[in-house]
Structure formats: C-alpha cells, structure tokens
Chain A
Amino acid sequence: MLEPVARNKLSFRVLGLFQDGRGVVVGQAAAILLLSVERVVSMLRLLSEELSLDDLLPTLRINVVENTLRASSYLLSVQTSDSLLLDRVARLTRLVGAPLCVGSSPHFVAYRDERAPLGYDAQPLSEPGDLTLYTPSFVQSYRRVRELRLTQLIAQLQLLPLPGGLRAALSQPDLDGIGQKTASPSELYLTCGRGLSEPILRALWQHGTDAELLVPDSLPRPDVLEGEQRSHDPLIRMSSPSVELLLRLSSLPTVRLLRPEGVGILIELGFAHPLRLSSLQSLFPSGDLLLFYGGARGFVRAKTPSRIPLVRLISPTLTIDKQADGSATERPVPLHPFLLTTATTKPLPIAISLRLGQRPGGSTSRPPTATLIPWHRLATLLRLFGLLSGDALWSLRAVGLPSGLFVFGNDSVQHLVSGQLLDEPAPLLFVPRSHQLLPELPPEQLRSLLSQGEDQLIVFLPGDAQPLSVSRSHSQPLSLKLLSGLASKQGVALMPGSMQPVEATQLDYEPLSFFSTMPLWGLSRSKEDE
C-alpha cells in the first residue's frame, strides 16, 4: 500500500502531503504512535533532552486512541513541516521503537527511512476513522478517545532516586580515583516541618549563610486548579551554604533540600525528574514555585511567595551569666529595636539570644588587644609607660570610660599589666578576657547583630548587663601628655620616673669557726693562667 516517492513528485494520493525544498515528503503535522504511557514519558524525556520543548509545546498534543480491536495507544502529535526537525525526531522515535508519521488529519504516512529516502505516499483507506497511520509494517485506523494534557502527565510522574542519594549529590565525584574538592552549591532551598524553621534560620544566621525566607501566598487564585497540592509552609532559600552545614541539616527529620532546575522549579536533592523540566518552562506560570519531592507523585505549588531577608527576622537580646556572687543581672536586655520594613502575616521574628558567659577553658590563645585601667591605677600606667616600644606607642589609643581608661590597638597592651585585659572577637568589639559571647558567631555576624557602625567601639564590661558604645573618634593616641593631663584631672599623685620600691637586701656576714675556713687553707694564687 506504501510506495517510495521520487524527487519532484507532482501529486500525492494522500491529501496534505508535499515535498519540501530538499524533496523530503512532509505534512502539516507529525504523529508518533506510542504503545504505553511509559513510552510517552521516554519519548518526552528524549525530546526534552534533544530539543527545547518550549518551541513544540504550543502544538504538542497527546491523545489516547483506540484501534479497531479497542487496544489503546498514545498518539503524540505536533504541528511541523520542517524536515530537519523531523529528522532529529525520527532518530529519537527509533530509540523508543515508535513509528513517526507525517501528514494531516486523518491520514498520516510514515516518515522517510532507509528504504524510501524521500518518504512515502500511500493509497488512502476509504474509511479512515478519526485518523489512519500508514507505515511499512501496518496500516491501521484509530478512534480518538480523549486528550491527555501534559500537566496531567507531569502531575502523575514520580521522581527517580539518583545513585548515592543526597550525599553523592552534595559531594563531587571522584575523577580517576582522586576525590575532588567539594564545592558548595550556589543556591539551594530547604523545607522543614513546622516548628523547625526558627531554629534552622537561627543556625543559618549563626553560620553566616546568606538566606531568605519565602512565605507562599495563602489566598486562592482563579487560574490554579482546585485539586492541585499547595504548600502553605514557608521555604528557606540559601545562597552558597557550606556542605558540612547542609549534611548536618539534612540529618534532621522532615528537612528536605531542593535544588532549582530552571525558574520556579525545585527538585529534591538526590532525585531527578523523568523529564527535563527546564525545557518545559512555559508550562508553569512565572512567580510560582513548584516543589518536586522524592517519593511523591506530581508537585506541590507554592504560590507567589514573598521574600524576607534573614537579617530582618533576627531579634537579638543580651543575657549575662549569673556570677557566683549574684551581682550580674539575668534579665534579657534588648540590644536594638527589631525593624521590619515590609508588611507580612508570617512568620514571627526569630529571637537570637546573645549571651556573655564565662569562657570554660580560661582565656583564648589569641592575645588580648585592649585593657581597662582603673582610674586609681593611672600612676602605675605612667610608670610603665616607658616600657612600651615606639611601634606600640603609635598604634595604641585610649578613651576614658566611667570605670577607667580604656586602651586598645594591639597586643602591646599586655605590657600595661595594671589593667583588666579584653579580647577582640570582632573588630572594635571587646569582651573581658575570661568571658565570651555565646553563641560563637563570625565577626561580621556579631557586628551586624549589635548594629555596630564602622567607627564605633563596643565594650562589654564584666558585671554590666548593657555594653558601652563609644565613637572611635573620641579616642586619642596614648601618650605621656594624655596620661599626665588625665592624672592631673583625677588627682593622682605622680612621681616622674618613679620605680617600684623593692625591699632592700641586707648582707649579713656569718661568723666563721676555725674549722669552717678549711677550704681556704690551701688557697693560693696559681701561675697557670697568669
């Protein structure tokens, strides 16, 4: 019934067929007959890998058809007359064992192959039904049963687990047996059960990870199907999180990590979607997030989520460890007002409790860089002033605080032994040497938490609940002139160049007995070294 076509054939028996510029027989449309839905998925997967499905999507149709024996098949059709495109599609159809036909409804004739380099013409059936396929192996008419929408198909698909799962997805593969350095992903999303998001956000902030909270719109929208699964729980978007942190977070129950694939499509880490979703972008409305989880069919839609930077959610408070003498207060003290610039219904501010506590192992290995010298010890400082080298003198600065003279700059302050030493966990932020700020945060986080300006000193004094804040411009270079001026104001009695009095040693000559001088009896001058 089929016959190969020669070049420059003037007329075809099947209506709708014609030869393009290369002489290849094409029609207005192409149809692929697939015997099962798995083959449909395989075909779509191959098409999405080979071509951009976004170009074909406007005319792509999937119909469930039945033959005369009522055996159902799937007919995937697309409007195209481009033989170059059809050549590529034909290669893919051979991979899945499906015939590719061209023509126009209701007649579709097999596309060209080895036996007919330019294609085929056929003798059409007198009762073609809804459509008829003419191939070298069969001629069959079909009845259209229903149309299967691509979104419906995607809603039924399940993610495929990747070998190695999440851990393999986070770590780089070995190349030639050599382990590659693990690079942190540039962008990842995280979902978790209710109640966990607050501690996770706090942990992310403490590790200095740039993150934002995405709160989905909970109001219904007319263009979204009612039966579709929708997410109302907030998501967390992380930028370049560390792999160690991700592995730790993923060990928590209900925590799932998702990677973006295209715009608005998130796929759980360690899984892959059967289709390449990034080539199906036009199927999904922009602004929404589609979450594909492993082990579940279809996707969950998070509608137009509003984004809130993590920093805006942090509400710091300061607590001081209760001392043994009970002198310090335990009352949390707000450090600065919480500011939220955009209106949102969710979530509540996250409380970060910054605690000034005793350091368990004593002082750190880092040298102290500041000291607080009580006013009554100013005279001692003046005496020790001459010990400082020239370099130290030029780099040290001093500012007067109610409890004493605060000297800072570098580790030369260790030579000013009359004061209380302070550590500098972040630039211009000082805590007593035996204390530390908990939780331990990176310097940038500490500074942002305390709203510390570039030129601002913040000093935590032992026993005081509220840190002191002083502008650096109030400090002056540490000099003898400054100290002398301060000493005169403080009424400190100064003795220029005075040294610490040391108890004198009295030399006592012990009375010697006759026999005790025995060692001296043989003493005389020898000539050997003269």
Chain B
Amino acid sequence: MKDLDWATTLLVRFVLPLLTGGQAIVSVPLLGKGIDRLLRAIDAGLDHSTQGQRLSEARRQVLAALGILTNSVELASDPDGLRIVATLHDTLFLQHPYGKTLSASRRAGLIQHIRRQLVIASESLPEPSPETARDGAIYQKLLLRYSLCAGLWNAKPKLGSSGSLEADVLPLVLDADDKPLARYLAHCCPLLLLLRPPPGLPLLIELIPWLQLPQVTRLFVSTQLRHGVTQALSRIGSSLLLIAQQLAEHPDALSTNERKTLWTVLSLFHLRAALMDPQPTTPPDESLRNALALYALIARTVPALALPADVGHDQRLSSRVLHYQQACSERAGMNRLSQMRERCAPLLQGL
C-alpha cells in the first residue's frame, strides 16, 4: 500500500472521527515507521486528497468555534501536529484489550516511543518568552496543533469498557521522574491543555511560560469563561493552589516574571467576572471560596497585579473592580485569607 493511501486510511479511521465525532478506531500502534510514512504522505500531497480536505474543514470548524477564522490549516504547515495525533493513537492503544496484555518490556518500549515522539514534537516549538511572543507565526502554530488534537477531550472509551480518558490516559507516567502524559502534552501542544474543558484543571506549571504570549492568554481566559464564570474561577483557583504546592517542592521551577504572569492571569479572570457582575454570588463550594480569597489576597499584597494601570485610570472601571475586590475579601473571610497566604507563600515570594 502506498504511503498516501495508508495515511488516508488512518485519517478516515481515527483522525477525522476524533475531530468530528463518531467512531474512532484504535488499532496496532503506528510506531516510528508509521509516523515516518505519515510524514512522507504529507509531502506526497495528503492535504490535497479528499480526506485531507475534509480534515482541513474540520480543523477550520474547531478554530471557528473559538472565534478564529483562518484558511491555512494544512498538515504541511506543521507536520509535527500529525506526529502528536499518531502518538495519541499509540497511547490509546495501551487501553486496548491487547495493549493491556503487553509484556512489561514491550509496554516500556511503547512508552519510550511515545515519550520520544512527544519530545520531538515539543522541540519544534520555540521556547515561550516575550521575545517569541512578537512572532505571530508561533501563535498560528499553536492553533494548528490544537485544531488537530482538540478532539481528544471529546473522546470516550467504548461503551462497556471501564476507565476514562482523564483517569487512565492522561496520568500515564512516561518517565522515571513520574512525569505524566499531560505534562508532556503541555510541552508539545500547550493549547490542548490550556483550553481543556472541565472537570480537569486547565493550568499546569509547564504552561505558565506560554501565558506570557498575550494572544494565548486572551484565548485561554475567553475560552475558559465560556464554560461558566463560576466554574472557570474555581478551576483557575485550584490550579494555582496546585502549582503553589509543586513550587514548594521545587522553588526554582518558576521565575519571578512567570509567577507574576500567573497572578496576572488569575486577576484577568476576576476582572472579567467583575465587569460582568460586580457583586460575586455567594460561593457555595470550597474551590470558589478559595478562588475569591486568592484574588483578594493578590489585591492586598500586590495591587498592581490585581488592578492593571489602564483599568485603574478609568474611574468608572476602577470603582467597579475595587467594589468587587471588597466583596471577594468579605466572602472569603480573614481566616481563609491567612490560610491562602500561607499556602501561596512560594508564589508570592519575590513579587
């Protein structure tokens, strides 16, 4: 079978159903040879085949749902996007009845292959920094990768089989440091994790440098708010507490600038909430109380991060936000505030 025909078959059986819904078939792992065949098929004109066109259309729709209208969504623009999808296929094979019966050495070999492919894919992305933020092509690349992998959040195991994607696949440990698949994915496809729908936490420590890119941050905040303001605040608050916990173990994991970025993103969520409704509703659950307390904490500790200068200059806006901050502080209570200060001490250090 020619590479192009073989790749087209994979699109029909797995990649397209993963994006558009339906039945995605997980079969024998593609491994390195299969990925090489896919890359050769891209060079041979996979984008111009009928299935390639269908895939482009499906990716356009994924981006349009985010409010991004673009025409250039070809595989040739970022071949490593297809490498990630193929690796996801191989990862899902571990949930296959045959995959569960693999011997330990074969399983270790497959995991090594998965890790290697994800590292290759992440190396083709530049390091996130304010300098790279000026290059619009990087944001475009992130969107392209997301548009190919976004279907992962929509995938469910076949009826009757036990387990779930969140519980079984994402925590899959890929290396000796117990680093799970999710953290590797955060390196090679940051938007996949940042735009993760509930109930999983959207923010990992690996993703924070990417939030220095304003376009990524705007997309992250807007998309998460679409799942509901209350839910978004709770999830970002919980993510921040989890990162604070990780930071206590590895204090050098985040630079001062990255810590500031994290607090700024939290503030952005609350600012959007403040503009929609200056009076936060009574928090019924613990995580939302924590989220409000975190914002009240940063407003007291570093007010410049909680109230940006441009908002502060607008009398109407600033009074609205200050009123919201006051309400957050009251809802959280003094005890919770001091508790949060203690838990987030690593994050507040040096600000």
Q: Which residues from chain A sit less than 8 Å from chain B, CB to CB?
A: 383-384, 386-389, 414-415, 417, 480-481, 496-497, 499-500, 502-510, 512, 516-517, 519-520, 523-526, 529-530
Contact = CB atoms under 8 A, between A and B. Distances in A.
Interface stretch (B71-79, B109-117, B123-131, B297-305): B109-117
Given A386-B226, A503-B20, A520 B151 contact: no
A110 B157 CA distance: 125
20 contacts: A386-B222, A386-B226, A417-B64, A480-B275, A500-B65, A502-B154, A505-B155, A506-B156, A507-B95, A508-B26, A508-B158, A509-B161, A512-B27, A520-B28, A520-B106, A520-B110, A523-B110, A523-B113, A524-B108, A530-B176
A502 B62 CA distance: 10
A181 B222 CA distance: 53
A303 to B, nearest CB: 65
A524 B106 contact: yes
Given A496-B228, A507-B24, A517-B98, A523 B154 contact: no
A529 B112 contact: yes
Given A517-B28, A523-B31, A507 B69 contact: no
Nearest to A513: B28
Contact of A497 (B23, B24, B157, B226): B226
A526 B67 contact: no
Given A503-B22, A506-B23, A520-B106, A414 B69 contact: yes
Contact of A505 (B18, B197, B222, B232): B18
Contacts of B228: 496-497
B218 interface: yes
Given A497-B228, A508-B26, A523-B110, 9 more contacts: A383-B226, A499-B226, A505-B151, A505-B156, A507-B158, A509-B25, A516-B27, A519-B28, A529-B116
B67 to A, nearest CB: 4
B106 to A, nearest CB: 5
Centre residue among A480, A504, A508, A530 by max chain B CB count within 10 A:
A508
A523 B21 contact: no
Interface string B84-118: 00000000100111100010011011101100100
B134 interface: no
Contact of B156 (A481, A500, A504, A529): A504
Nearest to B228: A497
Contacts of A517: 28, 98
B231 interface: yes
Contacts of B26: 507-510
Nearest to A518: B28
B167 interface: no
B67 A512 contact: no
A509 B158 contact: yes
A504 B21 contact: yes
A525 B106 CA distance: 7
Given A480-B276, A508-B23, A529-B116, A524 B109 contact: yes
Given A496-B228, A508-B26, A502 B105 contact: no
Interface in B5-38: 17-18, 20-29, 31, 33-34
A61 B110 CA distance: 119
Contacts of A497: 225-232
Given A505-B18, A507-B92, A524-B106, A499 B29 contact: no
A525 B155 contact: no
A523 B109 contact: yes
Closest 3 CB pairs of A and B: A503-B21, A497-B228, A387-B67
A505 B24 contact: yes
B1 interface: no
Contacts of B151: 505
A415 B218 CA distance: 14
B351 interface: no
Contacts of B158: 506-509
A519 B22 contact: no
Interface string B53-76: 000000000001111010000000
B159 interface: yes
Q: Mostly helix, strand, loop or mixed at chain B's interface?
A: helix
A507 B98 contact: no
Given A417-B64, A506-B159, A520 B112 contact: no
Contacts of B226: 383, 386-387, 497, 499
Given A496-B228, A519-B31, A384 B67 contact: yes
B258 to A, nearest CB: 23
Contacts of A502: 21, 154
Contacts of B109: 523-526
Centre residue among A383, A388, A520 by max chain B CB count within 10 A:
A520
Contacts of A496: 228-229
Nearest to B197: A499
Nearest to B227: A497
Nearest to A384: B67
Contacts of B64: 417
Contacts of B113: 523
A502 B65 CA distance: 10
Nearest to A484: B276
A1 B116 CA distance: 128
Nearest to A416: B67
A481 to B, nearest CB: 8
Interface string B166-193: 0000000000100000000000000000
Nearest to B116: A529
Given A414-B69, A480-B276, A524-B106, A512 B28 contact: yes
B259 to A, nearest CB: 23
Given A384-B67, A480-B276, A526-B112, A509 B154 contact: no
B105 A524 contact: yes
Contact of A506 (B22, B106, B218, B272): B22
Contacts of B218: 389
A478 to B, nearest CB: 12
Contacts of B112: 525-526, 529
Given A386-B225, A389-B218, A415-B67, A525 B25 contact: no
Contacts of B95: 507, 509
B33 A519 contact: yes
A35 to B, nearest CB: 85
Given A497-B227, A505-B18, A519-B29, A525 B105 contact: yes
Contacts of A526: 109, 112
Given A387-B66, A520-B28, A523-B110, A509 B96 contact: yes
A499 B28 contact: no
A508 B66 contact: no
Nearest to B65: A500
A379 to B, nearest CB: 13
A82 to B, nearest CB: 77
Contact of B227 (A389, A499, A504): A499
Nearest to B226: A386
Nearest to B161: A509
A414 B25 CA distance: 37
B33 A387 contact: no
A507 B156 contact: yes
